[in-house]
Each structure stands twice: as structure tokens, then as C-alpha cells.
Structure 1
Amino acid sequence: MKQPYNTALYMRLSRDDESYGDSVSIETQRTILRRFAEENNLHVVGEYIDDGWSGTNFDRPNFQRMMQDVEAGKVNCIASKDLSRFGREHIMMDYYLEFVFPEKGIRYIAVSDNEDTEKGLSDFVPFKNLFNEWFAKDTSRKVKNSLHAKFLAGERTFAYAPLGYKRDPDVKNRLVIDEETRWIVEKIFDLAFHGAGAAKITGILLDEQVPTPGWLNYTRYGTFANIYADAPEKKRYAWTVAQVKSIVKNETYIGNSVHGIQTNISYKNKKKIRKPPEEWLRIENTHEAIISKEVFEQVQEQIASRRRKMKTATTQIFSGLVKCADCGWSMSYGTNNSNSKPFHYFVCTNYRQHGPRHCDCTSHYIRYDTLYVYVLSRLQYWSAQSDMGEEHLKRQLLHANDREQQRMVKMRDAELKRAQKRQKELDRLFSKLYEDWAAERITEYNFKVLSEKYQTEQTELLEKIEHLQAELATEQQTVVNIDQWIGLIQQYAHPEELTAEMLNALIEKIVVHEKTVGEDGEKEQTVDIYYRFVGKID
């Protein structure tokens, strides 16, 4: 008796396909597949639609959901409009059509291509798959060339207009000034021009309850509803330092358009990577400016000058090391000039930027000289302990001699790296095997034997890697590299003063707690030092 076909209707549309109109639309695909299923008495168990996904990527969410239903036995037939809707990567297409589907007893139908595994695929299928992959590559190239031509013509492509601008209602892909919001941009640049840093500007915007770009888009177009729909009122004005920095560095506000800041790794791999500035495409005077070039350049000079001073100041030996114990933000370095003798201090950056009204944290204030003396005393203590012998110091750090445990950690780490290397090698061998089979360089029997062998080894490797990673994750919580720590503390033996080099070599972070007041009225403050390799030690 002929088995009933529980059929999945698979549909896919990428952004590049949309330019081809209704012939490949999801609705057109659905109509074709529904009619075919009805005419051929196929029982449809569900539709699986990946809208906006490239055919060269098989990690599509609904494709994976469909394959999970195949594994669960819910689906034994898959239909797509044509081969290209299923995928545009010839090795993976061969993998599914020639190996996965036959092994699992899955019937596959490409309706418009008149291909059906039940009737036997035609000899042209491998060539069709190669053509579909070439088509994806060629389309990617054409899209890039088309965008490049648009950019050179002064056009912009954007999902949302930058703050201070809106879409030109008459000219596609062009910006015009938004008179309702330009004042926010002008205010930010005016503050920056007169010496305010990004943190101070952020505080002013918060205090004056200036609406954020995201909130403005939500109120106008309904976008970002997931963020603002049920959010408290303060979310509307929740500016960040990063947003302010992005605005004051954005050449859009002097009338320029900068393109090509990011690109995909390849037409198959859509992961974004940032390109170096010298490779960006900069087109000047593409729209009306909000800020003059003179003001913009002055602000950029002030930003660069402020950054250089922070990096070269001799007092910044703790830079990047001091953290707030409660919110985790870095501590800001400041100077109190109100007394006849100025002094330096650290304060929580979160608290400093947002203040008590907009921040749940507290100041965690600590004087620089207090922190300096404490850290120096602790380093001097551990240096003195190392003078008493390595074994003595090891016992203090580990509370036991765990040399054997350390050796086992190193062995497991080396074993994990070997397993991960073999896993990558198997992936490469698998791909080569399918290519050889498709080109008939090996027999189907040899293909199946090697495939089963590789699959078995891959399964075993995956289990082994997961097991080793779990063991290492547990052991590395307690096992530390004592030899490296002792080498470092001996390198900086008997320190009389602190240097940035010494601190960065020995210390991972310094965590400052808020002061507490005892019953006797005395204030106490805890400072935790996390050393490199050994973590927090008393």
C-alpha cells in the first residue's frame, strides 16, 4: 500500500529576490504549492516560510523547524516552488537531495522545475544547483554595484532617517531637514563646541527630558513598540553616552553621506565586519547641512584633544582597572580643586553621568591617595610572602598543593584543542566527499561507507568536546596558574611605588564598594583586588 504523504510546503524569499516582483513572492509560491498539493492528493501538514533569508544560508529558522519535524516523523514529503527556493548552495543541496532525504525516506518535489525524487531526479539537477548558486553570487555582485552607483549619485539607503532629518517626500533616497527635531542636534553640537564632553551632554539631555531618537520614531511611525509600548515615562528620555558620541561624530550633519562602513564576509556568509576608514565611501554635499563644517571640525579636534590628555596623563595609572562593586561600571577619575590643596578621587561613572535621579547606583567615592596606599600595601604584602618561598605562597593561594590537578587541566585543554581541530577537519572532509560523489569520482557504496564513518566520528567528537568543556569550566574555577603569578610578583619584587605597567601586569580589576557606617559612627570601605591568574585573594 502506498504510504500517505504528510507534506511540508516550504517557501523562501530573500531581500534580493524582491526586485523580481510577484513571480517569486511568498503569495505566488503558496498558490502554486497549494494547487499542486490539491491536484496530487498530498496531505499538507504545514507551511514553513523564511521571508528575508538568503538561499546560501541553511540556518534559516523555519527551514530548521521543518527539518526538526522531519526528524520527529511529522513530515515525509517536502515541496517547494523550485530548487532555488529550497536553497542556492550546491554542496548542501546535493547533501539533502542525495543523502539526507533518501536515508530518511523523504520525498522532495520542486514543482516548477518538474523534479520529484519519487520519479527520480533528472541528470540536470546538479547543474541547476550550480546555476542557482552562481545566480546568488551574481545577484549579490549586481546589488553591490547598483548601491555603489546610487551612492555616487548622492542617494542614501536607510531604514530610519538620522535625528534632525526626515525622508524627502518628493525625492527617493534623499534626506531633508526635520524642523521639529533639528534643535536637538544643534543643542548637542553647541554644548560640545563650548567644551562639554559626551557624559556631560548626556546628563543635560536627561535633566531637560529631551526625547530620544527612538522615542520620536515610535511616536511618529510606531517603530520600536517592543521597547516603548509599556515602558515607564523615563524611557522616553533615556539618552546614553554612546548615542551622543555617535551624533557628534556623524558627518551626516555637515551634509555628507558615508557608505561602506560595514560589509558582509561573502555572498554566502552574511556576518557583518567593520571596514577600515580608508575604505569607506564618502560623498560630500548630498543634502542640506544642519551644522557648519567649522563647528563640526572644532568639535572633532576637541574630542581628539580630550582623548590624548586622558591617555598621557601621568596620574592615570589606574585607568580601566577601577570598577563599581554594585553596577559594574568603571570608576571615573576626577580632581577636587575647591580646597587650597587639590586632591584626586574616583567615583562611579554611572552615578556621575546620570545622577541620583536617573541612576539606582551610588557614588562609591574613594580618594586617589587612599586607593594608592591600599593597593601598594597589598602588593608589598604578596611580594614579602613570595620571599618566604614558592611552596609557602602556593599553599596560601590554593590552600593545598593542587599540582596534580593543574597537570590534569593542562592535559584536558590540550585534548580539547585536538578534538576541535579534528572536528573542523571532518567538516572539510565531508564537503570534499559530497563533491567527489556528485562528480562521480567515488562510488555510491564508498560514499555511504565513508559518510557513516565520518558521521559516527563526528557524533563521538561532539560528545567528547562537550564533556571536556564541562570539566574544564568546573576545574578552572579553582585551579590557577601559580607559576605565572609567582613569576610576576617576583618580577615586581619589593615595590616602593605604583606604575601603570605594574598594575596592568598584576591586577585584573579593583572593585570599590560603597562606604558603610558602623555603630560607633566610623566609616568603612571595602576594596577587592582581583589579581591576574589567581583572582580575588585576601
Structure 2
Amino acid sequence: MSKRVAIYARVSTQEQVENGNSLEFQVDKLKAYCQLHELKVVGEYIDAGISGAKFDRPALNRLKEDIEKIDIVLIYKLDRLSRSIKDTMLLIEDIFKPNNIDLISLSENFDTSQAMGMATIGMLSTFAQLERETIKERMIAGKLQAVKNGKYINHAPFGYKKVDGKLVKDENTRKCVEFIFEKLLEGISTTQIAKMLELNGYAKLRTALWHYNTVNRFARKKVYCGHTPLMGIVVENTHEAYITDEEQEYIIKQLDSRNCCPSKARKRSFTTIFRGLINCPTCHRKMSVTRSPRKDKTYLVRYKCKYCQLDKKSKYYLGEEIIEEALLKYFKECCFNFKFEKNKVKLPTRNYEKEISMQENKKFKLQRAWLDNLINDKELRKLQSDIDVRIELLKKEQQEQFNILENQRKEVKIKDLSLNFTKVFNKITTEEKVKLLNAFIEDISINVETIRISEKMNRYNVDIRDVRFK
């Protein structure tokens, strides 16, 4: 019986151009070797345009999955398999040898079953890795030289564009970047700058909304000082700058000092019950919180959507008391909508994991029978397909059982919570209410009815549409 051979071939794009070791050339030579030695090719595993430095390759991964069908792995040259000593030895010692698989290289003519063959592999792997590191160094040097010559090889950052390979200021976004650095130098916080960018009409320049983290990242990028960072190296004075190095150093120092010391805004922060929980009924994003003082020295807390406000869509200013009242009503009515006793189902005890494992074991036995030529390819595919159908059915039944049990568990919790929610909620402090809601609620969706009282005043009726639990 002839031995089963897996042909493995690989090229990277650069090697195809420089060396001419095309995939067709490698595969033809390997097939000719198999014909000459009367070896049976059971699979061709081809990685096109993928570096040998990577261990995670599609064709190589398939080869490892099909390892039980193979007696010999045939390659044109060792560096086609890997350019890393560690990865080469891992394949041979941990995958090929335990499965009694020989590795044959057409060019180097070695045999992994002998000590000398293993020593040869060690030396060849060393040279392959050395060559990879040399190629990498040449690429880095080439890129650095290109940058020094005025070429910009990265993606153009916001505020710039590439013209003939060089970085120049983009007139469409230049004023926005100048505005950011002007405000940073004035000492305005990144949060305030983000809001000012939206209000000054710069929102349309980006697909995403402006955020204080975005402004913070802009402030720290060396590219805005006229330098190009590349692979851990900064090439200086490659293009026109927006700010000087001294100005950037001053800005970063200001930002870092604010991170260490709480700002005035943080000291004025206040506790609100539904912060981060209420979804806007129009755009479904989270509503923000504002508060204003009353005459009795208490505060009126209201929830609004800043996104709808910027887009000039429906604007709501919902009082915290209205939302709290709607939530209590929701839980009060919620407990009467559940029919817990009727939903309870006594499920049969069944070990799905064991049954699935038994089916998987049958598949393994079929593969062994196929390898021993007891069944043909067509029979193997049909029998495995039947087993896969049974496994999917078992998994589906297992998931359904899990969902029923999970829903029963949730219903019991919600019942207990809803029966006692109003009683508990009215007795605890605002801080305790925040902790309670955030412990079991993911978010709250609402419906809002707007009632016009006068030209400048509206009244809102709020209903809880849905509460998503954690």
C-alpha cells in the first residue's frame, strides 16, 4: 500500500516577484516526485501570498486538521513550511512525530526519522529565520528612507491628505484641526472642546461623533508636529506642522496634570437615579442628565438626548420624578402579567453532553474505517452527514431545555422583585436606588407623549416600553 502524501506549498508576494518560486513550479515538482516514488497524493495545501513568519495560515491549519489522513508531508524547501525555528520544531515534535508522519524536503533531501535529519532541520531553520530577519530589516530601512525622502507611507491622518505620496494639509479639515489646538493651548478641557466642535459645525467632517478621547489622541500625535512615527522611530520634519514640539509638550503636560487632580467639573458631579439607563425614544442612544436649582434649594433633574438636540430632532426634557413614577407603575403591573405556575415545566433528566460525545465518537470510528479502506468516500460522507444531523438536533434540544430553565429562573426573580419593588424603592436613598437598578437592569426603553401647554412649555407622559435585565 502506497503512502499517503500531503503536498504543502507557500509563497509570499515579495518572494514571487524576486525569486520566481511560484506555486505552480513548487506543486509540479512535488507531484513529479510523488509519481516517481509511487506515492499517493491525498491533499494539496496551498498558502498564497502569506508570510512564513505566521504560524496561523489557512492551508497549514487545514493540514493540521487532516493529520490522521497523512503519512508524509512533502515540501519543496524547509522555509516554505516556516521561517521560524520555534514554529518548525513545534510542527515536527508536537504534530508530525506523535502521528508518525515523515517530513520530506525536495531541495534539501533530509529524513526526519534520523538524528542527522533533525540536526539538518535545526540548521536550515536557523538560516530561514536569519533570512526572514534580514528581509524585515531591509523593509524597515527602505520604509525609513522613503519617509526621509518626503514620502508618507501610512494612512493620512485627519487634517492632512496625500498628494503625490507626500503629506500636505487638507483644506477641508484644516480649520477644524487648528480650532482643536487653539482651544487646547487656551487650556479648555477636552470634554468642552468636543462639545464646541459639534456646536461649531465640525460634526459633519467625521462619521463618528466627537469625543474627549478623540481630542486627547489628537493632542498627543507627533504627526501634527510635522514628524512621522514609523515602527517605533520618529522621523522628524517630514511635512508641514500644525503646532510646535514645545506647544505639544505644554498641552500634554496640562492634560496629564488634570488626570492626576480632580477637576472642578468632577467635584460638581451629582448622583442621578437613571444615569446611563434610559434609551432615547427617537434615536435609541443613552440620554444624558442635566439639573437646575429650584427656589427651595433642591434640584430639578431632567434627562435629554444631546444627539437629537444636535440633529434638531425631537427634544425631550424628562423629569426624574416622571420616569421614577413610570418605572414603579411598570413593576406594579408586571407581576400580574406573569403566569408562573402555568409556565412551569418539569423537564426530563437527559444527559445531552454524553449523547453528543457518543455521536462524535461514532464519527471518529467512521474516519478510522475509511482510513483502513473499509468504507469508501461516498459512504463516509453520507454516514457522517447523518451523524451531524443527529448532533445538531441534540444541541438544539439541549439549548431549548436550557432556555426553558433560564426563563423559569428569571421569572421567579422578576416575580419576587416586582412584588416588593415599590415597597423597597420608596424606602431607600438615591445612592441605594442607583446601586439597586444598576445591579439588575441593563437599560430601559420608554415611550413619550408630548402635551403642549403653551408656546414655550410642554408636558410629558412617560410609559416604560421595555426593561432589559442583566
Q: TM-score, normalised by structure 2?
A: 0.57
Deviation at 1:179, TM superposition (A): 5.9
SS of the aligned residue for 2:302 comes to strand
SS of the aligned residue for 1:525 comes to strand
Aligned to 1:508: 442
Aligned mate of 2:81, from 79, 86, 91: 86
Output aligned runs, 1:129-148, within 5 Å: none
Letter in 2 for 1:351: C
Counterpart check, 1:57 vs 2:26 = no
Question: Contact (CA 8 Å) 2:8, 2:45: kept in 1 or not?
Answer: yes
Deviation at 1:314, TM superposition (A): 1.7
Output aligned runs, 1:1-16, within 5 Å: 8-13=7-12
Aligned mate of 1:526, from 456, 459, 463: 463
For 2:15 and 2:130, the matched residues in 1 are separated by 21
Counterpart check, 1:370 vs 2:322 = yes
Instruction: Report the CA distance shift for 1:72/1:294 in structure 2 as closer, same or farther (over 3 A).
Output: closer
Counterpart check, 1:495 vs 2:452 = no
Aligned to 1:452: none
Counterpart check, 1:313 vs 2:310 = no
**What do the CA deviations read for 1:406-449 (whole angstroms, capped 9, x no partner)?**
9999x99xx99xx9xxxxxxxxxxxxxxxxxxxxxxxxxxxxxx
Aligned mate of 1:324, from 280, 286, 294: 280
Letter in 1 for 2:463: T
For 1:240 and 1:254, the matched residues in 2 are separated by 24
Letter in 1 for 2:220: N
Deviation at 1:258, TM superposition (A): 7.5
Deviation at 1:61, TM superposition (A): 2.3
Counterpart check, 1:110 vs 2:105 = yes
Q: TM-score, normalised by structure 1?
A: 0.51
CA RMSD of aligned residues (A): 6.1
Letter in 2 for 1:240: L
Letter in 2 for 1:33: Q
Letter in 1 for 2:210: V
Output aligned runs, 1:271-420, within 5 Å: 289-291=241-243, 292-293=247-248, 296-297=251-252, 300=255, 309=265, 313-324=269-280, 327-335=283-291, 343-356=300-313, 363=315, 366-375=318-327, 399-400=340-341
For 1:466 and 1:113, the matched residues in 2 are separated by 52
Report how many aligned residue pairs link the two structures: 395
For 2:123 and 2:71, the matched residues in 1 are separated by 27
SS of the aligned residue for 2:115 comes to coil
**What do the CA deviations read for 1:163-187 (whole angstroms, capped 9, x no partner)?**
23567989xxxx9653645434213
For 2:305 and 2:123, the matched residues in 1 are separated by 59
Instruction: Report the CA distance shift for 1:302/1:510 in structure 2 as closer, same or farther (over 3 A).
Output: farther
SS of the aligned residue for 2:410 comes to coil
Structure 1: stretches of 5+ with no match in the other structure:
213-237, 261-280, 357-361, 386-392, 420-458, 534-538
Aligned to 2:159: 164
Deviation at 1:482, TM superposition (A): 4.8
Identity %: 15
SS of the aligned residue for 1:320 comes to coil
Deviation at 1:511, TM superposition (A): 1.9
Deviation at 1:11, TM superposition (A): 0.4
SS of the aligned residue for 1:495 comes to coil
Instruction: Report the CA distance shift for 1:108/1:163 in structure 2 as closer, same or farther (over 3 A).
Output: same
Letter in 2 for 1:479: R
**What do the CA deviations read for 1:506-527 (whole angstroms, capped 9, x no partner)?**
533222234378xxxx975322
**What do the CA deviations read for 1:266-311 (whole angstroms, capped 9, x no partner)?**
xxxxxxxxxxxxxxx8979776641333773598489869987368
For 1:10 and 1:503, the matched residues in 2 are separated by 58
Question: Contact (CA 8 Å) 2:288, 2:306: kept in 1 or not?
Answer: yes
